[in-house]
Amino acid sequence: MDILSIDNLGIERVLKRGTGIIVEEQAGALLVKDTVSGAYMLACDERETGRDILKRRRAEEMKLLMVSDYRLGTEAFETFGFSEKIECFQVAYYGKTPVFESPLTVRKADENDLTMLVKNYSLISPEEMAEVVKRRSMLLGYIGGNLIGFIGEHLEGSMGLLYVFPEYRNKGYGTALQERMIADTIEKGYVPFGQVEKSNQKSLSLQKKLGMTVSENLIVWMWR
CATH of the domain at 144: 3.40.630.30
148 — phi, psi (to 5°)?
-105, -20
135 — phi, psi (to 5°)?
-85, 5
At residue 60 the predicted structure's pLDDT band, cuts being 50, 70 and 90, is confident
Residues 109 and 182 in one domain: yes
Residues 22 and 80 in one domain: yes
Percent of the chain clearing pLDDT 70 (strictly above): 99
Is residue 200 assigned to a domain?
Answer: no
Average pLDDT along the chain: 95
Query: What would the pLDDT profile of 187-208 be if each residue is shown by its tens digit?
Result: 999 999 999 999 999 899 989 9
| Average pLDDT of the residues in 156-182 | 96
* Cα 148 from Cα 27, distance rounded (Å): 48
Q: Which residues pair with 147 in a beta bridge?
A: 142
How many domains, in total, are found in the chain? 2
Query: Exposed/middle/buried for 198, CB within 10 Å: 0-12, 13-18, 19+?
Result: middle
Is residue 16 assigned to a domain?
Answer: yes
Residues 11 and 78 in one domain: yes
Domain enclosing residue 38, as ranges: 6-91
Percent of the chain clearing pLDDT 90 (strictly above): 92
Is residue 76 assigned to a domain?
Answer: yes
Residues 60 and 110 in one domain: no
Amino acid (1-letter code) at residue 189: G
Residues 121 and 86 in one domain: no
* Cα 139 from Cα 153, distance rounded (Å): 9
Does 4 score more than 90 pLDDT? no
Does 170 score more than 80 pLDDT? yes
Residues 15 and 75 in one domain: yes
Supply the pLDDT for residue 1: 64
Query: What would the pLDDT profile of 72-130 be if each residue is shown by its tens digit?
Result: 999 999 999 999 999 999 999 999 998 888 899 999 999 999 999 999 999 999 999 99
Is residue 40 assigned to a domain?
Answer: yes
Q: What angle do CA 104, 132, 115 make, to 5 degrees?
A: 75
